[in-house]
Amino acid sequence: MNLASVLSLLAACLLSLVAGQEYKEAVELSSANHDHVLGSATVVFVAFCADWCPFSRRLKPIFEESAKVFHQENPQASAIWAIVDSQRQADIGDKYFVNKYPTMKVFVNGELISKEYRSTRSVEALTNFVKYQLSTAINEFSSQDQLSQEIDKSKRNVVAWLKKDGPEFANLKKVASILREDCSFWVPTDHFGTQTTENKLSFFDPDTNEEAKFTGNFNDYDFVKQWVTDKCIPLVREVTFENVEELTEEGMPFLIYFRDPDNKSTDKVFGEAVARELYDQRAAINPLLADGHKFAHPLKHLGKTKEDLPVLAIDSFQHMYLFPDMTQMNVPGKLREFVMDLHSGKLHKEFHENLDQRMIELAKAKAARGITDDHDTQAPSARPIDTTPPPSVFKELKPSDKRYSILQKSEL
Domain ranges of the chain: 23-134, 138-232, 237-347
> In the prediction, which pLDDT does 304 show?
94
Q: Could you give the 3-state DSSP secondary structure of residue 347?
A: helix
DSSP states of 168-187 as a string? Answer: HHHHHHHHHHHHTTT-EEEE
Query: Does 170 have pLDDT greater than 50?
Result: yes
Cα 104 to Cα 57, 174, 184: the distances in Å are 14, 21, 24
Of 255, 256, 239, 258, the residue nearest 247 (C-alpha): 239
Phi, psi at 149, each rounded to 5°: -80, -40
Query: Does 207 have pLDDT greater than 90?
Result: no
Report how far residue 62's alpha carbon sits from residue 49's, in angstroms, rounded to the nearest whole number. Answer: 12
Residue 251: band (very low, low, confident or very high) from pLDDT cuts 50, 70, 90: confident
> In the prediction, which pLDDT does 371 show?
63
Of 113, 84, 91, 131, the residue nearest 246 (C-alpha): 113
Q: What is the mean pLDDT of residues 36-64?
A: 96
Contact status, residue 284 vs residue 301, Cβ threshold 8 Å: no
Cα 218 to Cα 213, 223, 224: the distances in Å are 12, 8, 6
- According to DSSP H, which parts of 96-202 are helical? 123-134, 144-150, 167-179, 190-193
Report how far residue 54's alpha carbon sits from residue 313's, in angstroms, rounded to the nearest whole number. Answer: 37
- Give Cβ neighbours of residue 412 (< 8 Å, ≥ 6 apart): 94, 99
Contact status, residue 258 vs residue 290, Cβ threshold 8 Å: yes
Q: How are beta strands 103-108 and 43-49 bridged, if at all? A: antiparallel
pTM metric for this prediction: 0.77
Centroid of chain to Cα 6: 36
| Homologous superfamily in CATH for domain 23-134 | Glutaredoxin (3.40.30.10)
Contact status, residue 394 vs residue 315, Cβ threshold 8 Å: yes
Report how far residue 171's alpha carbon sits from residue 220's, in angstroms, rounded to the nearest whole number. Answer: 8
Q: What is the pLDDT of residues 218-230, one digit of tens each?
A: 999 999 999 999 9
Residue 261: band (very low, low, confident or very high) from pLDDT cuts 50, 70, 90: very high
Report how far residue 227's alpha carbon sits from residue 232's, in angstroms, rounded to the nearest whole number. Answer: 9
Tell me how far apart the 2 most distant CA atoms of the chain are, in Å: 85
> In the prediction, which pLDDT does 359 show?
65
C-alpha count within 13 angstroms, C-beta hemisphere, residue 255 = 27
In this chain, the answer to whether the domains covering 23-134 and 237-347 adopt an identical fold is: yes
DSSP states of 282-320 as a string? Answer: TTT-EEEEEETTTTHHHHHHTT--GGG-SEEEEE-SSBE
CATH fold for the domain made of 138-232: Glutaredoxin (3.40.30)
Q: What is the pLDDT of residues 63-91, one digit of tens each?
A: 999 999 999 999 999 999 999 999 999 99
Cα 247 to Cα 47, 128, 229: the distances in Å are 20, 24, 17
Cα 305 to Cα 163, 239, 310, 329, 401: the distances in Å are 54, 18, 10, 19, 30
Q: What is the pLDDT of residues 359-381, one digit of tens each?
A: 667 677 767 776 665 544 444 44
Q: How many CB atoms lie within 10 A of CB 335?
A: 22
Q: Which residue has the higher pLDDT, 207 or 51?
A: 51
Is the domain 237-347 a CATH 3.40.30.10 member?
A: yes
Question: Which amino acid is it at 41?
Answer: A
Element (H, E) at 36: helix 34-38
Report how far residue 369's alpha carbon sits from residue 367's, in angstroms, rounded to the nearest whole number. Answer: 5
Report how far residue 45's alpha carbon sits from residue 55's, in angstroms, rounded to the nearest whole number. Answer: 18
Query: Does 290 have pLDDT greater than 60?
Result: yes
